Amino acid sequence: MSVVLLFGRAPSQRDVSRFGLDVLARSFETSIYDVSPLLRGPLEQVSEDRGAEAVAVEKLKNFSEIVDRLSGRRPNLIIDALPPGSLRERLRIACRRQAISVVVHPIGPLPPLPDQPFRTRLAERFPKSPSQALRTIRLLRDSMIRSRGPSPDVFISAGDSSLRRTDALSAARIIHGRSFDCDEYERSRELSDLPAAFDVFVDSGGPLHPDYDYLGFRRSALPNDYFSVLKNFLSTAEQTTGRPVLIARHPRMKNVPYQDFLPEFEIFDDVTASLIQKSTAVFDTGSTATSFSVLAHKQVFYLTPGALPGSAEWRLATGIARSLGREASTTTEQFVNDLRRAEEIPFHTFDSYRREYLFSDLSSRRSFAEEITSLLREE
């Protein structure tokens, strides 16, 4: 029995853990086909701190090579983790012709975000170079073909909102699953030598996040400006609550020297869920890590350090905050007022968020690896 993950960028060990491939590899032939050379677009460049080590990774450079691999290996299942576009559609057609089942599971479902003014959208996406102009054209092209091509054989949901996606509506079979964040939350580990009481800032990388380069977006703030404002927010929080703030660094920002930007704060890697579970409160700029705060029933405050109204960062923080009945703080004064009010945790909004974006009431609550194992054993 074998399973192959189709991935649109060079995978990291975090991706292996997220999809549970390290677990699957113990019982089944498991591998990753890295097809990023074929995309030549927004996802072709990566800056990961380490590669995938637990499973075999093959970088395939042309479409016929992928088809030959599929024909020769004939995996029982394909996990389709590709971005929307013509390559994904062609590969699904190839899988359909060879009677290989295709499985889709959403990565990081998020609430609807506020509408973006046309002027702001144009400013963010206006190409800075000919290569980025080409990327923008390809993104627009791919957005127009999202509903074409064969449907997946199996769609594993991650909350009710994912069931409204095109792939879910057309899939031959629906499995009520759960978000990858639920799996990661269960893998959290005990930490020692932490303060008796502390708050945690969930880092998103700000303007240094590599997705800006992937997608060709313009940054709404310079790194120094962003970190300067962020430092002010976090220092204000410490002065207001009397608790230290620990920083859970974004997994893709490990090569960034945070101590140069935030020397007063302790930085942690790969333990975001664990820190949130032990924290008193959580500060977030808007990210899928909101899932951990919801699962842990932690009070969470959203910040928009240096983000212009209408920008991608502002929309992300504002949209997620509103889904939990909150408003994102745009100034330290507003932030302090929120901290001092110490509102009750909005359990009803947390439960609504859980049903929409983590797992529905119909979910078996099994991990993604467990769902794939069950499918393989049915073959």
Domain limits, the chain: 2-179+359-378, 187-357
**pLDDT at residue number 215:** 58
Asked whether residue 344 carries a pLDDT value surpassing 80, the answer given is: no
- Please give the structure tokens belonging to residue 159: 């909350």
Select the more confidently predicted residue: 257 or 174. Answer: 174
Asked whether residue 122 carries a pLDDT value surpassing 80, the answer given is: no
Return the CATH superfamily for domain 187-357: Glycogen Phosphorylase B; (3.40.50.2000)
Tell me the average pLDDT across 75-99. 91
Select the more confidently predicted residue: 296 or 52. Answer: 296
Mean pLDDT of the chain: 85
Nearest to 19, CA basis, from 38, 4, 9, 40: 4
Least reliable range by pLDDT among 58-72, 126-140, 239-253 = 126-140
Q: pLDDT class for 205, splitting at 50, 70, 90? A: confident
Q: Give percent of the chain above pLDDT 70.
A: 82
The top-scoring range by mean pLDDT among 9-23, 205-219, 252-266, 274-288 is 274-288
**pLDDT at residue number 103:** 97
- Please give the structure tokens belonging to residue 70: 């599929």
Neighbours of 172 (CB within 10 A): 12
Asked whether residue 145 carries a pLDDT value surpassing 90, the answer given is: no
Asked whether residue 177 carries a pLDDT value surpassing 80, the answer given is: yes
What phi, psi does 192 have (nearest 5°)?
-110, 165
Q: pLDDT class for 340, splitting at 50, 70, 90? A: confident
Output the CA–CA distances (angstroms, integers) from residue 320 to 105, 122, 174, 294, 327, in the order listed: 21, 23, 26, 12, 9
* Architecture category of domain 2-179+359-378 in CATH: 3-Layer(aba) Sandwich (3.40)
> What's at 76, amino acid-wise?
N
Same fold, 2-179+359-378 and 187-357: yes
Whole-angstrom distance, CA of residue 156 vs CA of residue 158: 7
Collapsing DSSP to helix, strand or coil, 80 comes out as strand
Nearest to 167, CA basis, from 88, 110, 70, 90: 88
Burial class for 112, CB neighbours closer than 10 Å (0-12, 13-18, 19+): exposed
Least reliable range by pLDDT among 44-48, 81-85, 111-115, 356-360 = 44-48
**pLDDT at residue number 139:** 58
- Please give the structure tokens belonging to residue 328: 């994102």
The top-scoring range by mean pLDDT among 75-79, 186-190, 250-254 is 75-79
**pLDDT at residue number 49:** 44
**pLDDT at residue number 43:** 43
Asked whether residue 117 carries a pLDDT value surpassing 60, the answer given is: yes
Ramachandran sector of residue 56 (left: φ over 0; alpha: ψ -120 to 50; beta: rest): beta
Select the more confidently predicted residue: 214 or 42. Answer: 214
**pLDDT at residue number 4:** 96
Whole-angstrom distance, CA of residue 315 vs CA of residue 116: 8
- Please give the structure tokens belonging to residue 266: 């302790």
Residue 103: beta bridge partners?
79, 154
Least reliable range by pLDDT among 12-16, 93-97, 105-109, 250-254 = 250-254
Q: Residue for token digits 């704060």?
A: 265
Asked whether residue 130 carries a pLDDT value surpassing 60, the answer given is: no
